[in-house]
Homo-oligomer: A and B are copies of this chain.
Amino acid sequence: MKRLPLFAAVLLCAPLAAQEPADPPTPASVAAAAEPDEWRAIDPADLLVMTLAPDAKGEPREVVIQLMPPPFSQPWVENIRALARAHWWDGTSVYRAVDNWVTQWGDVDEAKPLPEGLSDTDDLPYTSTAKADLSQGTMEPEVVPLPAPDPYTGLPSSDRRISWSGGVSGFSRGWPVAVLPERPPPNLDDIDASATGEIAALVWPIHCYAHVGVARDLESTGTGSELYAVIGHAPRQLDRNIAVVGRVIEGIEHLSTLPRGTGEAGVYETEAERTPIVSVRLGDELPEAKRPRFEYLGSDSESFAEYVDVRANRNDAFYTVPAGGVDVCNVQVPIRRMED
């Protein structure tokens, strides 16, 4: 019996399919087979738990957000910690949703006073500086580049050397990032030829699906009180133009399925359309039993390298033509709840 919907479902969501040992690896099977020490625990202090009002059926809605680690966007991240510790978001709302763009929350009227002591984030850069040692092929902060800078060419993608003639995207400490040599760059011909010595580069976080950024006006970089989550194709044009501060690691569907706003720029026209925010708490503020415990697959692990290669070259049962490359935002970093 042909059961297309189930098959189709399995095929469109191959990671959920059971794999025989002899089957080609899938992203899910690679992550599942990773060694325990390749997984890194996420500090509960780096997690925000946002509790929304229950849905129309009375079901609870909880969104867990992981905050960015140093050196990325730290002034905004610290403001967000301060806002959470002040319980500032309690009683605010999700007030904007635009299809294939963002869902946004905070204080729609901007009438609520901000807590004391937030950092002045104006005039701060959205990029960080990285130092690369070309002779060693290392960078601080560490960045593991995607194997191929030009995806979808069908060419083999095994060369992981960072190309200094252009930019590169990759992963740093579990996060997708972009890297670019300082502009104007040093003599790139010399560097390519000698491949020794240190050079500086800019590195910055990327807007992928479910990533969280700081809404701002034309004159500022935003305090961190108004946040948005990406609910569509990665809006990479926002990179370096806005602070990326985290990502939703559980419960994104509570933001992505909200009705789209019909007011200007997708802001809800009536209060009734908004989703009330009951509370936002840092993970380490919660009682031990409710503390969120997650782990991610380390960017520098062998299993992560294999995971990237499999994502770039799918050849399990459903796939007849491996892509030969992969977009950085299609390499979702494996993150899971830790077992007790």
Q: Which A residues fall within an 8 A CB radius of B?
A: 2-13, 16, 56, 95-96, 98-102, 104, 106-110, 126, 149-155, 166-167, 169, 178, 180, 183, 208-210, 215-218, 222, 225-226, 228, 232-241, 252-253, 256-260, 264-267, 311, 314, 317-321, 323, 326-327, 329-330
Q: Closest B-chain residue to A202, C-beta based?
A: B154
User: Assuming the A-B contacts A152-B178, A237-B330, A241-B319, are A8 and B226 also in contact, with contact meaning beta carbons closer than 8 angstroms in the complex?
Assistant: yes
Do A210 and B100 touch (CB < 8 A)?
A: yes
Task: State whether B104 touches A8 (Cβ < 8 A).
Answer: yes
B residues within 8 A CB of A183?
A: 154
Q: Which 8 A-B pairs have the closest CB atoms?
A: A9-B265, A8-B215, A7-B217, A153-B167, A153-B166, A240-B321, A13-B265, A209-B233
Q: Is the CB of B236 within 8 A of A233?
A: no
Chain B residue with the shortest CB-CB distance to A215? B8
- A209 — which chain B residues lie within 8 A by C-beta? 100, 232-233
Flag if B101 contacts A12 (CB, 8 Å). Answer: yes
With beta carbons under 8 angstroms apart, the residue of B56, B233, B241 that contacts A233 is: B233
CB-defined contacts of A239 to chain B, threshold 8 Å? 152, 323
Q: How far apart are A114's CB and chain B's nearest CB, in angstroms?
A: 11
Q: What are some 6 contacts across the A-B interface (CB < 8 A)?
A: A9-B267, A152-B178, A153-B180, A233-B327, A234-B330, A253-B259
Q: Shortest beta-carbon distance, A42 to chain B, in Å?
A: 20
Q: How many copies of this protein are present in the complex?
A: 2
Do A9 and B155 have beta carbons less than 8 Å apart?
no
Which residues of B are found within 8 Å of A210, using beta-carbon distances?
100
Contact B321 A106 (CB under 8 A): no
Q: In the complex, what residues of B have CB within 8 A of residue A104's CB?
A: 5, 8-9, 12
Cα A320 to Cα B216 with chains together (Å): 13
| Candidates B8, B11, B217; contact of A8 at CB < 8 Å | B217
Known: A232-B209, A253-B99. A108 touches B5 (CB 8 A): yes
Which chain B residues lie closer than 8 Å to A5 at the CB level? 95-96, 104, 106-110, 215, 226, 267
- A206 to chain B minimum Cβ distance, whole angstroms, is 9
Which residues of B have CB within 8 Å of A234? 233, 327, 330
Enumerate chain B residues within 8 angstroms of A154, measured Cβ to Cβ. Answer: 167, 180, 183
Partner of A265, one of B10, B106, B110, B152: B10
Is A218 a contact of B317 with CB atoms below 8 Å? yes
Taking a contact as CB atoms under 8 Å apart, the answer to whether B153 and A3 are in contact is no
Which partner residue on chain B sits nearest A328 by CB separation? Answer: B152
Q: Are A216 and B330 in contact (CB under 8 A)?
A: no
Nearest Cβ in chain B — how far from A211, in angstroms? 11
- When the two chains form their complex, are residues A237 and B153 in contact, meaning their CB atoms are under 8 A apart? no
Chain B residue with the shortest CB-CB distance to A213? B12
Taking A8-B216, A12-B102, A232-B232 as known contacts, 7 extra A-B pairs with beta carbons closer than 8 A to each other, sorted by chain A number, are: A9-B96, A99-B252, A150-B166, A153-B167, A233-B327, A236-B323, A253-B260
Task: Please give the distance in Å from A59's CB to the nearest CB on chain B.
Answer: 10
Chain B residues near A240 (CB, 8 Å)?
A: 320-321, 323
CA distance A150 to B101 in the complex (A): 23
CB distance from A198 to the nearest CB of B (A): 21
Complexed CA–CA distance, A265 and B4 (Å)? 13
